[in-house]
Amino acid sequence: MQLSSIIFDMDGVLIDSEPVHKLAKKRAFERFGISLPEGVYEKYRGRPDDTMMIEVVRAIDDKNLEPEELIRIKHEEFETIEHMVVPVRGAMEFVLWSRTRYRIALATSATPRNRRAALSFLGLENSFDFIVDSSGFSKPKPDPEVFERAILGLGTNAEECLVIEDSLNGILAAKAAGCIAAAIPTSFTKQELARSGADFVVDNFERLRALIETREGGCKSR
């Protein structure tokens, strides 16, 4: 495995935010008197807010709902509880280690506001060579667009890029972009991630670093 670059997803990779996003969605629906089964939230785990809101609104015939309003309220609710978000263990250290050896990018579906807030929270505002957030692409994962933009921004080749993801659609997108895909099981099980096509599924960032160092055979600096 010869790497020139590493591309990081954000939610579920750098920050453990899925439970907070889920709670914000629940609160948004509750404002309209809607209580969704847990299975609905599981179905849309790791997928964009737009996708969930549009499809759920279409399925509700007796409510005069607008997906755009639900999305706005969900973002509002998230901002009130984002203090509940916690870093993924070892993520900050791994980013700082990676940037001494590779070019690194952040490729996230988060809004620019949430992306900035998360990087500030982590102390990683100036750590990435290139950043793509929801303002920089239009086709959600599993479409590879977000990673293709990151590869272009890094000025590298897909086969030299390692993408770190936590979602099934993220792994599918990384592989569709032609990248090597590593998965961290923060949002899905190791078995689910392996079935989605991940090249490596590791328990944590310490294991991922050890794997990279072993595969690359020694020290490297950018």
Angle formed by the axes of helices 145-154 and 168-176, nearest 10°? 50
Higher pLDDT, 58 or 206: 206
Higher pLDDT, 50 or 123: 123
Query: 102 pLDDT band (50/70/90 cuts)?
Result: very high
pLDDT for 159 equals 97
Domains of the chain: 5-16+86-216 (3.40.50.1000), 18-83 (1.10.150)
pLDDT for 2 equals 85
How do residues 18-61 score in pLDDT, each as one tens digit?
A: 999 999 999 999 999 999 999 999 999 888 898 999 999 988 87
Structure tokens at 172: 């599918």
| Residue 221 pLDDT exceeds 70 | no
Quote the Cα angle for 90-7-110, to 5°. Answer: 85
Q: What value does the mean pLDDT take over residues 169-193?
A: 97
Higher pLDDT, 198 or 65: 198
pLDDT for 65 equals 86
d(CA 12, CA 109): 12
SS3 at position 187: coil
Picking from 135, 137, 130, 136, the residue whose alpha carbon sits closest to that of residue 105 is 130
DSSP state, 27?
H
Query: 62 pLDDT band (50/70/90 cuts)?
Result: low
Question: How high does pLDDT run on average in the chain?
Answer: 94
User: Exposed/middle/buried for 58, CB within 10 Å: 0-12, 13-18, 19+?
Assistant: exposed
d(CA 122, CA 85): 11
Structure tokens at 23: 């709670």
Picking from 197, 151, 9, the residue whose alpha carbon sits closest to that of residue 94 is 9
DSSP state, 88?
P
